Amino acid sequence: MTGLGLAGGVLQAIVIVGGAPLLLGLMRQVRARLEGRAGPGIVQPWRDLRKQLSKESITPRGTSEVFRIAPVLTVSLTLVVAVVAPFVTVASPLPAVADLFVVVALLAHGTVVIALAGLDTGTAFGGMARAAR
């Protein structure tokens, strides 16, 4: 682990987390223009995120800690992938063994966590979590 790798990993996480909503807004704006519409602004996904994060968290009755921890675990796994994958710099903050197989395993683990959270609710819609991914 080098200082350059650590700084590059932090920079990658900031660029990906900050740039993903802007890229989504840009894609929506371009699509709207191609269809002859004005479309939403480029920063509209940031407004949507702010609105969603201000809402109250609701959990179904009878769910365990799996349901509450699943979103946090999925976001943290995705951030680890954002830090490990070379985007801004090729210097990785992790050893060289963190290659494509580890990235695929982390993303698959996130899918399993979301499926378990869906099954934890105990409703008929729980099996749909696996199909939605």
Would you list the domain boundaries of the chain? 3-132
Residue 127 has pLDDT above 70, yes or no: no
DSSP for residue 91: -
pTM higher than 0.85: no
pLDDT tens-digit map of 35-85: 999 988 999 999 999 999 899 988 888 888 888 899 899 999 988 888 887
Distance of CA 16 to the CA centre of its chain: 10
Q: How far is CA 20 from CA 79, 91, 131, in A?
A: 12, 22, 24
Q: List the structure tokens of 13.
A: 């996480």
pLDDT digits (tens, 9 = 90+) for 95-112: 666 667 788 888 899 889
